[in-house]
Amino acid sequence: MTDVLYVDCCIRGEESRTRKLAEAFLAGLEQTGNYSVERLILMDEPLLPLTGGFFRQRECLLEEGGLNHPRFRYAHRFQSAERIVIAAPFWDLSFPALLKIYIENLCVEGITFGCDEQNGCFGVCRAGRMLFLTTRGGALEGSPMDNGTKYLRDMAAFFGIPRFDYVAADAMDLGLEPPEEILGRAILRAQKIVKTF
């Protein structure tokens, strides 16, 4: 069984079009019987930005080598997963801030990446692949304004994950065609990835 970590940052919950895309993909994975999926719903997690005492605690733990502290559980789980799926909508040229806070909590030297004089910084995550699933109201496919996809691609490389893919349901709010049709095509693209994931 391949161990999959699914990170849900679908802020609108059950109304989220991005979640519909993600759930269709995950259903395809689960139907194969070859994947074990753990869902991490970021809206239900006590995530905090790295400020004040919370930041100072982190710095002290890192200086002391306290990598087994519970606050690093997100980084340990991310590091150990064999596949990563992240679902988040296009939001202010990127994705919701909650996902950035989660990623900041993942970036822990000695867990998700290492550094030395010879190699600089290098990722040590186990995953062979990261998939980003998103929906966008505007037409952003291939646009430099889509900072979210680029950022997650760069983070995958930083974490040492060799393959990054994404599926986007694009231009859903422009009235050019029914949103259900756009979402349906994205779901079909995502389901094709199941075969090789």
Residue with tokens 């304004």: 145
Taking the C-alpha atoms of residue 90 and residue 149, their distance in angstroms, rounded to an integer, is 9
Cβ neighbour number for residue 65 with a 10 Å cutoff? 8
Question: Residue 128's pLDDT is what?
Answer: 97
Nearest to 9 by CA among 135, 174, 185, 161: 135
Nearest to 109 by CA among 65, 156, 54: 65
Is residue 173 within 8 Å of 138, Cβ to Cβ? yes
Q: What is the pLDDT of residue 119?
A: 83
Q: Which residues of the chain have pLDDT under 50?
A: none
Domain boundaries, the chain: 2-194
The predicted structure's pLDDT at residue 82: 98
CATH number of 2-194: 3.40.50.360
**What does pLDDT average to over the chain?**
96
Q: Is 90 helix (H, G, I), strand (E, B) or coil?
A: coil
Helices (H), 65-135: 73-80, 97-106
| Predicted model pTM | 0.95
At residue 103, the pLDDT reads 98
